[in-house]
A and B are shown apart, each in its own frame.
Chain A
Amino acid sequence: MMRRAAAAAILAMMLIAALLLRGESFVDVSERLLPPSSMHLMGTDTFGRDVASRIGTGILVSASIAAAASSIALAAGLALSFFFSLWRMPGPVFLTAILTLKTVPPVLLALFLSAISGPGVIKLAAVLAIGHAADIAETAYSRVLVARSEDYTLSAIGLGKGRVDVYLHHILPAIMPYIAKQAVSIFSASILSEASLSFLGCGVPVTIPTLGSMLSEARPVMGQAPWLVAFPALFLFLIGLSLELLASGRSELDPSSH
């Protein structure tokens, strides 16, 4: 409990810091590679841009991409679970479809799409959501199977309650913790994948700063300007760590963990 609260607090602070730091950064060649000072809190990069404000914008961009990806995945998970509760899916066919999706790692899919149509923010969010769709579909499927064979669900159906009613009152509460947990882990996986893709230059367009692309620009000058690597890396690590702590462990929503 403490651990999760701390993680959530770090995330909230990070968001506030990002909002405060965010700002336009200008190319100023006379101020290249300056170390951290009171003027430039985290120094300047190869083009003389202020690192702090770029980090602020970068965090917001990464977070919104990840948020979009995980909410698409969440919506897909809920929709799928509703369909599963209406009809009995032929299990083997469905599981084969999931296995097919699983043979393609999300980063690979994103690279392929980037080969076809170039980088883009919305495309990236969609690709990350599709790449993780197999996981959430699998969770929804197995949890709905469990929930609809529970006695309370069967008796509700026996009493003649409508499908939607049964879904909302008996199946949804039972599966929600699992789906929500999956959505959080998709969020953190998306943050990491987005950073990797931007690091490779295949993520968002180069004009938009993200933590990944900042690190990739900083790599050649790592020796002269260590702050260019240190600050984005530190933020990325803190975000990853707190999301990891938030997603691990049993869900607070899960009544069986109390």
Chain B
Amino acid sequence: MAFFAVSFIVFALSSLAEGDSSAFILSEDAGEAEIAAYREGMGLDDPFLLRYASFIASFLRGDWGESASGHDIKGLILHSAPVTVSLSLSSLAIALMISIPLSIAGSRSRAAGCFVSGLSVTIMALPSFLTAMFLVLLFSRVLDLFPVAGYVPLSRGVMRHIQSLFLPSLTLSLLHSSLYMRVFRKALSDGIRSTYSRFALSTGMKRKQLALSSAFRPALPLLFSLVAQSLVSALGGAAVIETVFALPGIGALMVSAALSRDSRLAGIIMILLSIAASLVFFVLEGLLPLIDPRIRRGR
């Protein structure tokens, strides 16, 4: 459903642009007849819906065509997808490692709460490329621990792979964790202040146990939705980070497509990413009833 909507929009918009592609590709002095022949050959004179159908058919066959610079789009994407997937997964892992302990600490004491919300507001106020630049200054220029930019694939050593991905994933994860901390901490303190946890306390439940069962557990579904949301934005929104750190991922590919006005490549990336995003949301909808009995019982 989402696939058809997005692909239709992408196709409609790029065909608006494609109308002029005959002017781009043929030379300046091409005559009327040559332009007509080119349009005929590319099938540009067919009715709109027919062209859409053939676009979808070739997309589903896996025939994604060539980019403006003449490379095979499928090859480009298969080459850069692992980078982006590896980056998003490692950034999610770091984000969870940062945000869960900090939000638990933040919901327990006032001072820690102040620190945590200060940190998350600061990170949210900075655009990601600035955070990235500061981290590079700190870790690469001053401490000299990690490379400034560049990508080392997994096949050329695990350690170097992790090193090359550390700073970009740290940047992305700070971004995600600032959002998690804000929402998750609120959910935790709501859980602690709720009537059911007061009741549990009055029956003599230990504080640790209480925190786990009546604060952490009800907040868990919310955390899952947040993670899904940020996985979606990481898959698509890593464009900035990948460019800053010169990682050859999907986002960087999208940026170069945008800069070179390659509507076909950009359109295919957009459709693929929205399919990926729909899959993430789909999995989330399957998972939520498993961890949340309230949804399972149809409330």
Contact = CB atoms under 8 A, between A and B. Distances in A.
Interface of A: 96-97, 99-100, 102-105, 107-109, 111-118, 192, 195-196, 199-202, 212, 215, 219, 222, 229, 233, 236-237, 240-241, 243-245, 248
A233 B122 CA distance: 13
A111 B124 contact: no
Contact of B257 (A115, A196, A240): A115
A192 B112 CA distance: 28
Given A100-B2, A100-B6, A116-B14, 12 more contacts: A96-B2, A103-B281, A111-B257, A111-B266, A112-B10, A116-B261, A116-B263, A192-B127, A196-B129, A201-B255, A229-B133, A233-B133
A104 B127 contact: no
B273 A241 contact: no
A219 B141 CA distance: 14
B240 interface: yes
Most buried by A among B16, B240, B257, B258: B258
Contacts of A97: 5
Contact of A112 (B5, B127, B232, B266): B266
B277 interface: yes
B121 A241 contact: yes
A229 B6 CA distance: 38
Nearest to A202: B258
Given A111-B258, A115-B263, A237 B1 contact: no
Contacts of B265: 115
Given A115-B257, A202-B258, A219-B133, A237 B126 contact: yes
Contact of A103 (B16, B17, B274): B274
Given A100-B2, A103-B277, A117 B239 contact: no
Contacts of B254: 108, 111-112, 115
Contact of B239 (A107, A116, A245): A107
B277 A111 contact: no
A248 B121 contact: yes
Interface string B120-145: 01101111111001000000000000
7 closest A-B pairs by beta carbon, nearest first, are A240-B125, A115-B266, A103-B277, A241-B125, A108-B236, A103-B274, A116-B17
B148 to A, nearest CB: 11
B125 A118 contact: no
Given A111-B254, A112-B10, A112-B266, A118 B2 contact: no
Contact of B125 (A99, A103, A244): A244
B292 interface: no
A117 B259 CA distance: 10
A129 B254 CA distance: 21
A104 B277 contact: yes
